[in-house]
Chains A and B, each alone.
Chain A
């Protein structure tokens, strides 16, 4: 059983994580520990393994070696463990992945109803609460295709929150958005962070990282190259590759 106390063991513990795609070594012995309530921002060049790593945390990718422990439960072939972890770990995707055949409200209600077995009225109340929180309560009866990209991504965040997860994973949540819609999504994420959610965000939004992150992680070539506080990371990075990456991202 996943424990809900806020002290004690870390929210997430990754040890010597290995992942291969065929012969390609995508993750090379990653070690990472995340405390409850901690906000981690993961960045790095494309193909460095950031997405692969967070997709291993809820088993969208199966790891080939090492150990992943989420909220005290080990992620292995045990289907019961996988289900239990997925219930407690929310995820937001680059391309939103809303269900196009359901209204916004139904998108938010379906999983609490069929996975958590909540009664319809309770699921709807929760859904409306979180839609309010992401500031689009008036769109509840629309279909995803009728919304802008920024609105869709906020619905996706609300949908994940409706499961009342203990950890939230963000996989480049603003990369597919038009520039003018990035801030409305980031604002929601900042609010979420301020309320104490445990967050692991893969993003290149360095302004967001500076504001929110407790710890920065820089990945390259399937490895964690640098781990530092945001202050240290942005001003006095010791690593050559990190400095090069930062100059490219912040350069203009």
Chain B
């Protein structure tokens, strides 16, 4: 006789809910209590942020302060300071365009179709030079604006993107040098990486911004902004180098041997066989490092740069909006969230994409 095996029917949604949350009387009570707390908190938050909030500037700060809910008027009144910092008022459209340029550049370089050496170089070259020309001006009839006046979101994005653009290739070089068969190379590199990692980022930024000018000749100093970016890139690369090296250690030794046996030279093996696999292994930790670096850009305030968080301070810092700091920080947190969350989702997309060829 033929036996027919049938899987038990999947429980319906209601049945599933009952099993998970209302299996015993005690569990039912706990579930209901948690639900009540959650509803209460969400209602409180919505009430503050939406229902009792003031959105228009018409009543001025006083009417706003009197309201029971959030005072979003401060954003309507001060958003230019948050986004553009001290950048001259009439020229702020340039700063906005520069932000768009950086975002477009980043999004383009995230699309696999652009991952050839020439295309990526083109995107980055065009993006950064467009940003630089827009921000700095002095050509094409644009008024000159010095780096000391850059601020807000544009500055945050610029520091983050340049830190990664300089730091990432540097990290790969450091990781390769640390794997060198010559002990004096691998040990020296190890010493540099561990040395940089042992220092707080703030002290590195301070050294590059304030101390370095005493040690360097005038023509080598450059603007403070670029020294700070170099310091930040160095810090980034020290951490990222160890992440990349970890990824390389996960690549089977047979891969290198197979590539050698096929006649590939060192750089061909590194670029075609080792790095693609190592970066795949290192992907989750790499996204993590990008996220941390994005948030760490706020530290440049200690050497006198008004990136987005410091600009937020300035936005509520002047007399009449002094009470509305929660709203300003909530708004800035939201901006950070948008960028960091997109970064994480992109990481998840990459992992899915790469899992096709996983062993």
Contacts and interface: CB of A to CB of B under 8 A. Distances in A.
Interface stretch (B66-74, B215-223, B233-241, B269-277): B269-277
Given A86-B260, A86-B261, A160-B262, A97 B255 contact: yes
Contacts of B259: 99
A93 B257 contact: yes
Interface residues of B, number: 23
B262 to A, nearest CB: 4
Contacts of A159: 262
Contact of B262 (A101, A103, A111): A111
B229 to A, nearest CB: 33
Contacts of A1: none
Interface string A93-106: 10101111111000
A74 B186 CA distance: 31
A101 B357 contact: yes
A86 B272 contact: no
B2 interface: no
Nearest to B257: A60
A60 B277 CA distance: 21
A101 B263 contact: no
A90 B277 CA distance: 23
Given A97-B252, A115-B264, A110 B272 contact: yes
B268 A101 contact: no
B264 A93 contact: no
Scoring A58, A59, A83, A99 by chain B CB atoms within 10 A of each residue's CB, the highest score goes to: A99
A86 B359 contact: no
A87 B261 CA distance: 8
A229 to B, nearest CB: 29
A114 B280 CA distance: 22
B261 A91 contact: yes
B258 interface: yes
A163 B263 contact: yes
Interface string A106-138: 000011001100000000000000000000000
A189 B100 CA distance: 59
B272 A90 contact: no
Contact of A145 (B257, B280, B358): B358
Contact of B261 (A60, A95, A100, A114): A60
A58 B257 CA distance: 10
A93 B254 CA distance: 8
Contacts of A102: 357
B264 to A, nearest CB: 6
A207 to B, nearest CB: 27
A208 interface: no
A91 B257 CA distance: 10
A170 to B, nearest CB: 12
Contact of A99 (B255, B260, B268, B354): B255
Given A101-B357, A143-B357, A145-B357, A95 B254 contact: yes
A60 B254 contact: no
B6 interface: no
Given A99-B255, A114-B268, A163 B262 contact: yes
A245 B339 CA distance: 67
B356 A90 contact: no
Contact of A83 (B252, B265, B273): B265
Nearest to B258: A97
A47 B272 CA distance: 33
A60 B252 CA distance: 15
Contacts of B268: 114-115
A114 B356 CA distance: 25
Given A60-B257, A97-B254, A143 B356 contact: yes
Interface string A157-171: 001100100000000
A166 to B, nearest CB: 13
A59 B263 CA distance: 11
Contacts of A115: 262-264, 268
A96 to B, nearest CB: 8
B258 A99 contact: yes
Contacts of A101: 276-277, 280, 354, 357
A100 B257 contact: no
Contacts of B254: 93, 95, 97
Given A97-B252, A100-B277, A101-B276, A86 B357 contact: no
A98 B262 CA distance: 11
Contacts of A93: 254, 257-258, 261
Interface of A: 58-60, 83, 86-87, 89-91, 93, 95, 97-103, 110-111, 114-115, 143-145, 156, 159-160, 163
Given A99-B258, A115-B263, 5 more contacts: A99-B277, A103-B357, A110-B262, A115-B264, A115-B268
24 contacts: A58-B260, A60-B257, A86-B260, A86-B262, A86-B263, A87-B263, A91-B258, A93-B254, A95-B252, A95-B254, A97-B258, A99-B258, A100-B358, A101-B277, A101-B354, A111-B262, A111-B264, A114-B264, A114-B272, A144-B357, A144-B359, A145-B357, A145-B358, A163-B262
